[in-house]
Amino acid sequence: MPDLNSFGLDAFADHLLLERRLSPATVAAYSSDLFFFVQYVHSVYDESTPQGIKVVHLRSWLAEGAEAGLSSRTLNRRLSALRTYFGFARLLWEGVPQPAVLLRGLKVPKRIVRVLKSDEVERLLDPDRFEAGWLGTRDRFLLLTLYALGIRRAELLQMRWADVDGSAQTVRILGKGNKERLLPALSVWLEGLEEYRRACETSGISTDSVLFWESAEKTMTPKRVYSVVHSYLQSASSVEKASPHVLRHTFATHLLDMGADLASIRSLLGHANLSATQVYTHASIEQLKSVVQRAHPRGREGQRS
């Protein structure tokens, strides 16, 4: 087993979290990637310091991952972790090479996520599908929150009662890199919040800190959020990937369908750049086809009789 201190993995994790201000999920993924890389180069090449790492070591480790069936996205994340790590290591020690900059990322096929149709959303949020009491109220409000605000699962778990300004109809969201954004709160969402508040107070659930709890003693975990969303989505729709992120995709796609511009959707989603938002345009291609068919002179010709 290599000496992990010689690679400064704990310091690297602190750097990602405290200085780069990356999300805990990204920090965990990068730290795991580096841990397995260090193990690999030690066992295969008997290398135990960052100064001795060569580009062939990186290529070999990534190739082994590809042979094991890892996706292009995962391999690109591993490469990103290595690039970030060696940039950090150069600040700590002299003579640390930068082999990761010599490698290109893999082409990743565009991922098309099927979103919910309007009738599926109505079915998903139908009050009759939820059991009476606090638990059913929580589940419905959780689903409504993901769809009405378009937020990430991690952002949902950090939401606090104090983040909501009912009079201004806004809610403050803490996003990636601890960046805050202010979102408009729909009236239907604020009504759902009040219903949820009453259910919490009746059941002895705290309304002084975070919004979502598993029980009176335990706040919700990412795994539990996924389980709740997955269960309801499977019974209300035919989406292949029944995950919380599907509701974020649905939020963005429905806004686009109703005429919202990409810049506005980008702000609502908290994307750092517009390219991340453009993935949602694929879902509206059928609507665009319809617009062209109706509006383009040649399209209208085909409708004349």
Cα–Cα distance between 23 and 29 in angstroms, integer? 10
pLDDT computed for residue 282 by the predictor? 55
First-to-last CA distance in the chain? Answer: 79
Residues of the chain with CATH 1.10.150.130: 4-102
Active site residue 248: yes
CATH class belonging to 118-290: mainly alpha
Active site residue 42: no
Of residues 42, 78, 138, 271, which has the active-site annotation? 271
Of residues 138, 153, 248, 254, which has the active-site annotation? 248
pLDDT computed for residue 105 by the predictor? 87
- Vertex 214 angle, CA 195 and 225, to 5°: 90
- Vertex 243 angle, CA 66 and 166, to 5°: 135
Of residues 42, 78, 152, 153, which has the active-site annotation? 152
Per the CB < 8 A criterion, the answer to whether 145 and 130 are in contact is: no
pLDDT computed for residue 305 by the predictor? 44
Residues of the chain with CATH 1.10.443.10: 118-290
Cα–Cα distance between 279 and 113 in angstroms, integer? 9
Active site residue 280: yes
Cα–Cα distance between 237 and 54 in angstroms, integer? 49
For the domain 4-102, what is the CATH superfamily, name and number? Tyrosine recombinase, N-terminal domain (1.10.150.130)
Residue 135 DSSP symbol = H
Per the CB < 8 A criterion, the answer to whether 149 and 173 are in contact is: yes
Of residues 83, 176, 197, 230, which has the active-site annotation? 176
Active site residue 15: no
Cα–Cα distance between 207 and 162 in angstroms, integer? 9
Active site residue 152: yes
Active site residue 83: no
pTM across the whole model: 0.66
pLDDT computed for residue 127 by the predictor? 94
Mean pLDDT for back-to-back runs of 10 residues, the chain (305 residues): 73 90 89 93 90 93 93 92 93 89 81 81 94 95 96 94 94 88 93 96 94 93 95 88 89 86 84 68 54 59 48
Q: Give the residue from 111, 89, 108, 92 showing the smallest Cα distance to 100.
A: 89
